[in-house]
Structures are given as C-alpha cells and as structure tokens.
Amino acid sequence: MEEKLTQRSVWEKISNKLSKRSLWMLHYCTGCGAIELPPTMTARFDMERFGISPMVTPRQADILLITGYLSVKTLKRVVLTYEQMQAPKYVVGFGSCTINGGMYWNSYSTMKCLDQYIPVETYIAGCMPRPEAIIASFNDLIAKIDRGEANSWKDYYKNYDFYKANQDRTFEGPIETYNDIKADAAMFNIK
Amino acid sequence: MSIVSGLLLIALAGVILNVLFYKSKIVQKYVSLLLFAVLAYLSFNMYKQVGSHFSIPFLIAGQSIGFTITWLNYYFALMITGITLLTAIFSLKYMEGKEGIVHYYTVLFMKTFGMLGVILSSDLITFFVFWEIMSWSTFSLMSTGGKEAPKSALKYFIFAVTASMILMVGVVLSYSLFGSFDFAVIHSKIDSLSLPMTGFLLSIFIVSFSIESAVFPMHSWLPEGYSNTFTTFTAYLTGISTRIGIYGIILFLFGIFGIQTVDKLVILGKINFRYIFGVFAALTMIIPTFTALYQHDAKKLIAWHSVGQGGYMLIGLASANALGISGGILHIINYLTYQVLIVFAIASVEYRTGTTNLNKLGGLIKKMPVSYLALLFGIIGLAGLPPMNGFVSKWFIYKALIMSGYPFLAIAAVIGTIGTILSVYKLIHNMFLGQLPERYNDIKEVSFSMQLPMWILMIVVFGLGVYPGLAMGLIAKIQTSLGLAVVPYSLHGIASGSGQLNMLVITALFMGGLAVAWIIYLLGSRRKHVNQYNNYAGGHFLNKDVAYNFNYEFYAAIEHVIDPYRKKIIERTERGIIGLVDAVSEYVRRIYTGMINTYAIYILTAFVITIIFLKELI
Amino acid sequence: MNTVLWIIFLPIIIFIIGTFMLGYSRKFIARIERRYGPPIQQVFYDIFKLMNKKTNISHGWMHDIAILMLLGGTLLTLYFIPVPGFHFFAQYGDMLVIMYILLIPALGMALGVGETANPNGSIGISRALMMLAGYDIPFFLTFIGMAMLNQTTSMYELINIQQAGGFFGWGLITNPLLGVAALIALQGMLGEKPFEVMVAPHEIATGPMTEMGGKYLGIMMIQHAIAVVVELTIYINLFLGGALNWFEYIIKLFVLFTVLLSVNAVFGRFRTDDAVRFMWKIPLPMAVIGVLFIIF
C-alpha cells in the first residue's frame, strides 16, 4: 500500500516539483505562537524566498499552520477551516501543545493531540519553536511534497469515520460544516 | 381607411370596450391583448404610407387639422405599440387577482390613444388636444396601485398642468405670429421671425416638453410618481411616456424650428441655445444618477435612472451633429428596451416575493435564473457596456461630443455612466446575489407568459447591440426627413470616418475570449458547487439563523463624499424655493379673508379700475 | 496569416511579460523591505499550483461564468490595444471602445463575487466600484483631452502623431498636467497602494478573492498578469509615445511599472472615501486644467 502511494506518473512528478515552490499559508493563531511568525515572514528569515506567503482565507491556502494549544471551542473552528480548504492541503502543528498538550496537558478544555481530529503533515516541536525551526519544518514539507509523500490530506477522506468519531466525542455532538466528505472521497477516487 | 385612423380608432375602441364590459375577464385580458397586437401590426405597416396625410373632417379656426405619417412618427409609433403589447402580455399573469384591473386596461388604452395622437398629429391643435389626453391618462396611470400613488400622482398633476399651460401659451403665440397651426406652414415661416421672438417661442416649447421628459430642475415629480404605481405601469411609463417629451423636443428643435434657426441664437461665443440646453442635459445625467445610489427601493432606483438616461438623449441632440443626433435618437429605442427589461425583471421579483425593498431581498439567482438573466442584460445595456445596445448609442454620443469640442459635456456623460454602473450593481447584487434569506426558499421562477416578454427584450437588447444597423436604417431616414446629415452606418456600426465601430468584431472577439477562458477553465479539476452556508466567515459556523450578507448602505463611503455637495447645493436650493413659495402664498392667502365685506371692496376696486382703464382706452 | 499568428501568440507573449512583471514587483518590494524575495518566476509557480488544485469550489453558475467574463473581457481589451507590430483590431474600435471594454472584466468579477454570498466579497466589490468612480473620471478626462488635442479617437493614430514629434511629441511632454493626472489615476486603476482598499487582506480577507480558490484564483492571477500589461500599455500609448519595437516597449513597461511600484512600496492604504476624495481633488482638477489648456 505504502509503495503504491509513492508510485507517481511523470506528470505528477513534474507537478509536485512545481507545486512545492508555491505554498500559501493560513495561520491559525489562537495560541501564543503567533509572535514567532512576523520574524519568519520579514527581513530576518524571509520565508517568501521559498514561495511561502501568508494568505487570509482557507479557500486560497495550502498550509494550515496551527500555533499553540486548541480549546474545544477553537478546535471546532479549526475543523471547519480545514474542511473549507482545497485539496491538496497540509496541516502543520506548531509547538508542543499540538503534539501532546504541552504545558496545558492537564487542562480540562484543551486538546492533547491534534492528529486525532485532522490529519497532520508535520509537527514542529518546542515551546516556543524559533523561526529557524519553522523554516526547517517548511523545508521538510517542501522535500516531502517533492518526494510525493505529503498525502496526509487523503487520510481525512480515507479514515473520515475515525476523525468524525473523535470530533463528535469531543464536541458532544456533530457539527454542521456543509461539507460532504464522503462525496468528495468518491470524487477523488479515495476508498 | 388610412392606418392612422385605424390606429386611433382601435385604441379608442379598447377604451370603450373595457368601460362597457368592465365585469368581463375575457375582454380585459384577451380582447385587450388582441387589440394591442393589432395596434402593433398596424403601426409596423405604417411604413407603407409614410408621407400620407389624414385630415379630420372639420375645420378649426378656418383651418384643416389632422395627422401625417413621417419616419419620426413611425419610429415612435413602433416603440409605443411594441412596448404596450409586451406590457399587456406581461400583465396577463401579473395583474391576475389584483385590485383595479378594470381601471388598468382602460387607462392603458387611453394612454396609448393619447400618445399615438400626439406623435401622429400634424398641427398644434391636434398636438395639444392629444397632449392633454395623454397627460390625464398618465395621471390616472400613476394614481393606481398602492397607498402612496394618489399623492405622488397629484405632484405630477401640478407639473403636467404647468407644462400644458406653457404649451398652450406657445400654441396661441404661434397662431398669432404665423396665422396657422400647421407644422409645415410654421416651419416655412420661421425665418421671418425676429431672433428674440424665435428664442422666446422655442424656449416656451422646450420648457414645456422638458417638464414632460423630466429634465433636471423639473424632474422631481418622476421618481415617486413612477415608482408608486403598479410595476408594469412603471415599465410602461419609464419606457415610453417620458420619451414623448423628447419626441416633442426633436420635432420642434429639428422639424419645426430647424437647426440653422436654432444655431442663430448665440449668447456668447460658443455658448448658444444648444449649449445651455446641453448643460441642463448634463445636469440631468449626473444628479439623478447619483441620487439613484441612495435609493433602497428597486423601482425608485430605476425611476431615477429614467430621469438620468433622458439626459443622454438630450445631450446627443444638443451636440447637433449627425453622429450626436443619431446617437440621441438611437438611445431612445435602446433605452426603451433595456429599461423595460429591467422593470419587468423587478416586477417578476415583486410578483414572487411581494417586495422591491433592496434591503430585504437577496440570493434570488438560485431561484429565478431567467429574471436574473433579464436583469443582467438590462443592466449591461443601461451601464452602456459592450456588447449590449446601450453601448452603441452612448458611443455615438461621446464621440459626437468629443469631436465637436464639448469635453466637459463628454465627461458629464462619463460621470453619469460611472454612477450608473455603481447603482445598477447595487440593484442586481441586492436582489439576486448575496445570501438567500430562508423565507425565499420555496419561490419559483415566474410563468412562461411573464418570461416571454423578457426573452423577446433580451434578444432585442443583444441584437441591437450587435446589429445597430437595424435601427440605424430607420434613423438615417428620420435624419434625412428632418433635413439633417446622415451618419455613414453599416449593419454592425459606423462604416467609415475617423475611428469606426464594428460591434460584430467586438462581440466575436469577446466570445472568442470567453472560449479561450473556458478552455483554460477546463484545464483545472472539476468544480464542485457548494451550499451558500459553506462559506468563509473567519471560522464562524453559518446556518440559516446567521445573517451573513452585505447590502444595507452599500455605498456608504461614496455617499459620505457626495453628501456635503448634495446637501449644500441641492437641498438648500430646494429649501430656498420652498421657502419663497411659502412666503408668497402666505401673502396671497391673506387676500381671502373669508369676510364678505372685503370681497365687496375687492369687487368695487376692480370695478373702478376697469372703468378708469376702459375710459382711457375709449 | 501574420494576423492569425499575432492573434494566437499575442495573449501568450503578454501573459509571459505580465507574470515576469508581477514577479519583478514582488522582488522589487522585497528588496525595499530588505528581504531576499521570491524568485522572479514565482508567479508561474503560483498559477501552476492553483490550476493544479484537486478541489475547486464554486457557489453557482454565475460564479463560473464570471471567471470566464473576467479573462475573456481582458483578452478582448488586449486585442484592441495597439502593440508594436500588431494593430489589426485597432481599426474596429477606438479609445472609447477601450474605455468601455475595460469595465467588462470588472462587472463580470463583481457579479461572480456577488454570487459567492460572502459579505467580505461584497464589501470588496462595493469598495472597488467606489474606487472606480474615483479614478475613472480623471482617467477618462485625460482620454478625452488627448482625443481632442489630436482630433482623433483612434489610439493607433495617436501613437503615430506622437512618434512624428519624437521625444518632444510625447503626450507627457506636450501635456504634463494630463500625463501626471493619468499617472495618478493609473495607480488607482492597477489597485496599487495607496489605492488597494478593495483587497485589504487584514480587514476584509482579500475582498473579492475571499471565496476564490484553486483554478478560480488561478484564472484571476492570469487575468491580473495580462491586465497589468494592458493598463500600462494604454498609458504608454497615450502619454509615452507608444513604442516602435518590442525592446522599447518592454523597457517602457518596466520603467513605468517601477515608478508605480516605488509609490506602492512606501505607502499605506487610503480609506475608500479618502481615496475617492483624493482622486477628485488632485488628479481631476489637474485634468480639467489640462483640458482647458487644450481648448484655449
């Protein structure tokens, strides 16, 4: 199965090579990590030289950068935003909070593990991760796209039941995002 | 029997039938429709009898009066009967079960009768009599439908009576000057008149017609008067009724006085009678168009445009070169088609939703695609963008103004166009685009009998845009018959001269561009239609309870910029005039004290004065 | 035959120039901000990626047609503007036609954005149309002034007249007031700062582009690349004497664009009403005075 994912046609290879040069990022900054982003974007680290630039709406973005912890309330918004993004899309978890809850590990209202709810492409560990770490992780992501391995967005369609169950359990009931994931999966031929 | 008498008698027969059989639904609907169809057929065939004269079999003041058919008449008669027929088709369903349906068809016939009489008449007496019939039936059209209608109709009444009085002065004055009512006789004798007298007489007629065609300072009756009545009447009134005033202006400016006579009325250098007329036309374009931005009611918004678009026709006529005049005349039919199309679309929305309030509608494109398309064609025409017909006539007018050296009149036309684009986008956005409110989830597209006139007009709007030559042939004949130069037209636009216009090339290239864009569009993956609640809201969950729409105060920022000028100039002027009239009428009122003694003194005084004067005279 | 080749290849050439100019603008602004900046071919990558997206959401048929009207209208404008070596269609439509077909893409876009049912988009369009009222009036007045001065409304003849006068025949030299007024209006027309309130990413989420993603945004970017060249070419043809060959043309394009970008790079954003007021208070009186000079 794994090999099959990485087997690509020539066109896919070319398109991956070109697509990796342009990644638009939507940053979801309810946590404390937002302060690390301005230096990443501006003169000191300048992520635009990799073709990564900030965007404002999920329709335009390729990367969803989740900075810091997520509470139940904000996680709902993240799921909505993620579903509104257009495939292929990549989630980057930023900071320890998205990995294991970080310093809020014992809080009643925060999420411990982001990839229980939406598929995550890359994590950046640390509290806080410095701009260098962000740039490094983006470079990892670019390399992954180049190799054709950045396919986590397909997991959401493949294992939607798993994600949906986790979401419903946490939100204590279904949320209405007006997105028909099953129909989309059929459209993409993902089973 | 000539076609003229046929036309007028059938229109009159319609009035009588509708009065006699006021209970019969069949007469009201189908017989009326049949008669309108016959009228349209007859007026289409009028071209066979151009030049023929029909006299009424009695004399007035020793003169024979009657009707003639000219190319100008033919042009207007076609528009009148055509639009009446379309309105009648549209009304079949629209008026079903509405109050006042008896009145509706009667006044529609009466109005058609009056307008046909006005345009066909060949002398001042007939003209005046039919003008009165027309004004009165306009008054009755306006006073039906809705609570506000009688009040605004009364406002029109005051303006119309003033216009008629001024017109009567003109009629009497011309009779005393020329000893004849006949247009042809007056035209032949006009050169013998002194210049100040010519100017005075021309001003009298032009002012009278300007009131009817709502030129800037005399326009205030129109928007309310037209928008408070039935929406089908709004279509009929904005479409053709106002333009009869323009007919009068064309007839008197070019037909009776002649452009050579008018051009002698020079005030200072380039500033002559035409230029002043053009300045008023420019104000008519700009001010009402920007007032339209403020409107919250679709009918009112479009009624303001009905004022503004008149300015384009007048400014075209005022430029007085071949291109400008043909642009002005062409704009009448173009305006008629897209304006009526827009009002029909508004009427369809009103028919289904019961409101024309722009703040309460939205998202209807999903429910009423045909009405949307009709409105879209209409607004592209109104805004004057290619490939619709409004562009062609506006192009003529701009070109004429630039080439004859009126840059500021040309820029006024541009400002008017930009104001139009702004307000028509507000119209289509607030009605058809944006979020669909939950209460309109069950509405459907209007039935076929209402769609049919819209489809016909859509074809005409587009067809005249691509093939302006179809109308230009007739306009060239009008210009020749009025003794004016003719534009070298072709089927697709302007044939020669500096900077030609070929609408077919423009349209074909646009279609080609669309095709290329479509190919590029197909290169991407398939698109997926999503629900309107699947929308970016900064992470907020949307559903039917969340109002997520922007239509209230759509142009707040530019209103902010315009407001000071608007308030300062217009409102203060208006307030000043109101104050003056108030003060004068206050003094006049004091004459009527209500005591018999005072009246007796008045009578006595008048008696004494009369005797003194008579004595001196004798 | 030659004409057919031009018709096929002109959009492609202009598109390539346009994308490089947009890439250049990003690089230029990055350098002013002391950044390294993206590579100059970055816009190609962006467009490729957008066209290559797997999902493309749309809110209805008008949304789909709007995007076609946007690109189709821009291509239409492109053909009517004389470029060195190709002015076949210039004989069928003059400057007045160009003025009006420039508005077709704007209207198409406005309708499509309206159907996305997103208030951010509607606000963006409302602002864009208000800005149109601001910059188009002075711009049209300069059009009219140039047409009156040269007694022609054909853009091709206008170029010839200017070329005949050499450097001192350029519109900018003979009519500096009109030239500068049009330059300011051009800044607004291109939506560069300080007149980019219709996009305002931090305020209304890029306005018209809010619900545009995937190939829709891709086509918008293609259109933008072409439209930039078209609008700059109009200015060059009117005031900078047009161009005789492609080398001169491209040089003029880049120089003019750099002037506009330098303003763009150092300015903030005008509020809509301030921008309209500015346009009506500075370039419009300038254009009026310029036209008065022509009359008298």
Q: Is the peptide bond before C146 cis (omega within 30 degrees of 0)?
A: no
Check pLDDT > 50 for residue B476: yes
Please tell me the distance from the alpha carbon of residue A63 to that of residue B409, in angstroms, as a whole number. 54
pLDDT of residue B497: 56
Check pLDDT > 60 for residue B597: yes
For residue C116, list chain A residues with Cβ-Cβ distance below 8 A: none
Q: What is the pLDDT of residues A126-170, one digit of tens each?
A: 888 888 998 999 999 999 888 888 888 888 888 888 888 888 888
Strand pairing report for A122-124 and A23-28: unpaired
Does the beta carbon of B12 lie under 8 angstroms from any beta carbon of chain C?
no
Q: Is C115 exposed, middle or buried (0-12, 13-18, 19+ CB in 10 A)?
A: buried
Dihedral angle of Cα C2, C7, C11, C13, to the nearest 10 degrees = 0
Contact check, Cβ <8 Å, A48/C45: no
CA distance C63 to chain A (A): 14
Q: Of B562, B559, B580, whose CA–CA distance to B570 is shortest?
A: B562
Q: Of A127, B274, A59, B14, whose CA–CA distance to C211 is shortest?
A: A59
**Residue B589 neighbours by CB under 8 Å, 6+ apart:** none
CA distance C36 to chain A (A): 6
Q: What is the pLDDT of residues B221-248, one digit of tens each?
A: 888 778 878 888 888 888 888 888 888 8
For residue C22, list chain A residues with Cβ-Cβ distance below 8 A: none
Give A 117-176 residues with CB within 8 A of chain C.
Answer: none
Q: Of A151, A123, A165, whose CA–CA distance to A3 is shortest?
A: A151
**Residue B146 neighbours by CB under 8 Å, 6+ apart:** B228, B229, B230
**Residue B456 neighbours by CB under 8 Å, 6+ apart:** B86
Contact check, Cβ <8 Å, C202/A56: yes
For residue C51, list chain B residues with Cβ-Cβ distance below 8 A: 520, 523-524
The domain spans of chain A are: 2-153
The residues that bridge with A124 in the sheet, in sequence order, are A94
Contact check, Cβ <8 Å, B528/A175: no
For residue A78, list chain B residues with Cβ-Cβ distance below 8 A: 539
Closest alpha carbon within chain A to B543: A176
Give B 523-552 residues with CB within 8 A of chain A.
Answer: 526, 528, 530-531, 533-534, 536, 539-543
Return the higher-pLDDT residue of B340 and B27: B340
Please tell me the distance from the alpha carbon of residue A65 to that of residue A118, in angstroms, as a whole number. 12
What chains are in contact with C, requiring at least 3 Cβ pairs below 8 Å? A, B
Chunked mean pLDDT (size 10), chain C, 296 residues: 83 90 90 88 90 86 89 89 81 80 87 87 89 88 84 81 80 84 89 83 83 88 91 88 84 91 88 88 89 82
Contact check, Cβ <8 Å, A60/C213: yes
Does the beta carbon of A46 lie under 8 angstroms from any beta carbon of chain C?
yes
pLDDT of residue C226: 92
Closest alpha carbon within chain B to A26: B538
Does the beta carbon of A15 lie under 8 angstroms from any beta carbon of chain C?
yes
Check pLDDT > 60 for residue B356: yes
Averaged over B397-403, what is the pLDDT? 84
Strand pairing report for A52-54 and A23-28: parallel
| Helix/strand/coil percent split, chain B, to 5 | 75, 5, 20
Averaged over B273-278, what is the pLDDT? 82
Check pLDDT > 60 for residue B105: yes
Averaged over B309-331, what is the pLDDT? 86
* A40-44, B301-305, B315-319, C149-153: least confidently modelled range: C149-153
Of C26, C49, C214, the CB nearest to A19: C49
Question: DSSP string spanning A121-135?
Answer: SEEE-SSSPPHHHHH
pLDDT of residue A1: 44
Contact check, Cβ <8 Å, B433/C114: yes
How many Cβ atoms from other residues are within 10 Å of residue A125's Cβ?
15
Check pLDDT > 70 for residue B1: no
CA distance B545 to chain A (A): 13
Closest alpha carbon within chain A to B526: A187
Contact check, Cβ <8 Å, A86/C55: yes
Does the beta carbon of A60 lie under 8 angstroms from any beta carbon of chain C?
yes
Contact check, Cβ <8 Å, A87/C55: yes
Closest alpha carbon within chain A to C58: A59
Residue of C53, C212, C221 to mutate, interface with A, max A Cβ within 10 Å: C53
Contact check, Cβ <8 Å, C115/B433: yes
What fold does the segment set A2-153 form as a domain? Rossmann fold (3.40.50)
**Residue A180 neighbours by CB under 8 Å, 6+ apart:** none
Contact check, Cβ <8 Å, B528/A187: yes
Q: Of B517, B494, B497, B518, whose CA–CA distance to B506 is shortest?
A: B494
Contact check, Cβ <8 Å, B541/A179: no
Query: Which single residue is written with the structure tokens 């001196």?
Result: B616
What chains are in contact with B, requiring at least 3 Cβ pairs below 8 Å? A, C
Give C 212-251 residues with CB within 8 A of chain A.
Answer: 212-214, 217
Q: Of B305, B79, B279, B115, whose CA–CA distance to B214 is shortest?
A: B305
Residue of C49, C57, C196 to mutate, interface with A, max A Cβ within 10 Å: C49
pLDDT of residue B615: 67
Contact check, Cβ <8 Å, A18/C36: no
pLDDT of residue B618: 53
Predicted confidence band at B154 (pLDDT cuts at 50, 70, 90)? confident
Torsion sign, CA atoms C218, C219, C222, C223: negative
Of A23, A43, A56, the CB nearest to C206: A56
Closest alpha carbon within chain B to A85: B536
Contact check, Cβ <8 Å, B536/A176: no
The domain spans of chain C are: 2-295
For residue A178, list chain B residues with Cβ-Cβ distance below 8 A: 530-531, 533-534, 542
Residue type for C280, please?
A: W
Residue type for B495, please?
A: A
Count how many pairs of residues, chain B against chain C, have C-beta atoms within 8 Å.
249
Give A 65-84 residues with CB within 8 A of chain B.
Answer: 76-78, 80-81, 84
Q: Of A125, A140, A26, whose CA–CA distance to A83 is shortest?
A: A26
Check pLDDT > 50 for residue B381: yes
For residue C133, list chain B residues with Cβ-Cβ distance below 8 A: 418-419, 422, 558
Check pLDDT > 80 for residue B63: no
Question: DSSP string spanning B330-358?
Answer: HHHHHHHHHHHHHHHHHHHHHHHHS--BT
Does the beta carbon of B513 lie under 8 angstroms from any beta carbon of chain C?
yes
Of A48, A55, A87, the CB nearest to C30: A48
Contact check, Cβ <8 Å, B509/C96: no
**Residue B353 neighbours by CB under 8 Å, 6+ apart:** B361, B364, B440, B443
CA distance A80 to chain B (A): 6
User: Mean pLDDT across chain B, nearest whole number?
Assistant: 84
For residue B533, list chain A residues with Cβ-Cβ distance below 8 A: 178
Instruction: Report the largest interatomic distance among the alpha carbons of chain A, rounded to a whole angstrom.
Output: 49
For residue A49, list chain C residues with Cβ-Cβ distance below 8 A: 35-39
Closest alpha carbon within chain B to A180: B530
ipTM comes to 0.90
Strand pairing report for B493-494 and B501-502: antiparallel
End-to-end CA distance of chain A: 12
Of A18, A21, A87, the CB nearest to C54: A87
Instruction: Report the largest interatomic distance among the alpha carbons of chain B, rounded to a whole angstrom.
Output: 100
Using H for helix, E for strand and C for coil, what is the string for B437-460? CHHHCCCCCCCHHHHHHHHHHHHH
Check pLDDT > 60 for residue A2: no
End-to-end CA distance of chain C: 46
pLDDT of residue C19: 92
Helix (H) or strand (E) holding A141: helix A131-147
Does the beta carbon of A191 lie under 8 angstroms from any beta carbon of chain C?
no
Dihedral angle of Cα B230, B231, B232, B235, to the nearest 10 degrees = 130
The domain spans of chain B are: 273-494, 567-617
Contact check, Cβ <8 Å, C45/A43: no
Averaged over B106-112, what is the pLDDT? 86
How many Cβ atoms from other residues are within 10 Å of residue A29's Cβ?
16
